[in-house]
Amino acid sequence: MNIVLLGGPGSGKGTVSNLLEETQNMGHIATGDMFREEIKNETDLGKKAQEYINKGNLVPDDITINMLKGKINQFKDFHGVVFDGFPRNVEQAKALEDMLEEQGQKVDLALFLDIPDEDIIYRTVKRRICSNKECGAIYNLEYKKPKVDGICDICGSKLIQRKDDNEETITERLKVYHEQSKELIEFYEEQNLLYRVKLHASVNITKEMIKEWLENYNKNR
Ligand code: ADP
Ligand code: ZN
């Protein structure tokens, strides 16, 4: 099963991905994480992407789509792939269809994490992430505090704040999100692949919740 996650910045896509990876043995492709890795390694791609990311804009489709090519077949042995942060517009959604089709696969579910804008700003400003890439745990200083300040509960690494998780960039990211998401949601709705869950900032997403969503989705098809 291949799952596409839709939802604004800080809507919980990363948390859902981590849980799906853990419980369903799914591969995980997060374009935001891939860009951050390229930036850290100071690659040409990273340098190009950084300009857009720091402003809260989308990286151009050709750069993003090229970065993904060849990544999907790395997960052949997994129980499908969860796409986090891709596609972000219909252009990218069509490119994903093509990439999957080449592997004899398709998108099976578009899970839309629907959270109010006020909650998004709050949630992203307070977000802290584990600096250990292998771990990638996500915390919130208000709702999901680590046991020890600044330290990951799971692996003991330092927690860091994403450079683009400041109010100014988030406001721009939200604007970009609203411009693109309506069409994208309709794209998946028309194919009868959309499943919407209503969330709030204070909701801690659990394994049980995800299990229930998947069951309900399959039941109602
Ligand atoms: P969030 O979901 O919190 O906005 P991401 O980690 O998914 O965070 O993305 C961070 C930034 O990386 C985005 O604001 C955008 O600039 C860039 N980015 C990530 N995925 C894509 C994509 N599919 N297309 C274009 N830009 C992307
Ligand atoms: Zn960790």
CATH number at residue 95: 3.40.50.300
Query: Average pLDDT over the chain, rounded to whole?
Result: 94
- Ligand 1 centre and the CA of 117: distance in Å? 17
Alpha helices in 108-206 (DSSP H): 117-125, 167-190
Ligand nearest to the CA of 13: 1
Q: What percent of the chain has pLDDT over 70?
A: 100
Is residue 103, in this structure, part of any structural domain at all?
A: yes
**What SS3 class is residue 67?**
helix
Is residue 144, in this structure, part of any structural domain at all?
A: no
Q: Which domain holds residue 67?
A: 3-115+166-219
Domain count, the chain: 1
Is residue 206, in this structure, part of any structural domain at all?
A: yes
Give the model's pLDDT for residue 105: 93
Is residue 184, in this structure, part of any structural domain at all?
A: yes
Is residue 157, in this structure, part of any structural domain at all?
A: no
Is residue 76, in this structure, part of any structural domain at all?
A: yes
Is residue 137, in this structure, part of any structural domain at all?
A: no
Q: Atom of ligand 1 at shortest distance to CA of 53? A: 16
Pocket test for ligand 1, best of 173, 174, 176, 177 (most atoms within 8 A of CB): 173
Q: CA 137 to CA 196: how far, in whole Å?
A: 24
Residue predicted with more confidence, 190 or 118:
190
Token pair of 134 as six digits: 């292998």
Give the model's pLDDT for residue 184: 97
Q: How far is CA 132 from CA 31, 37, 90, 137, 159, in A?
A: 17, 12, 32, 8, 9
User: pTM here?
Assistant: 0.92
Is residue 156, in this structure, part of any structural domain at all?
A: no
pLDDT band at residue 220, thresholds of 50, 70 and 90?
confident
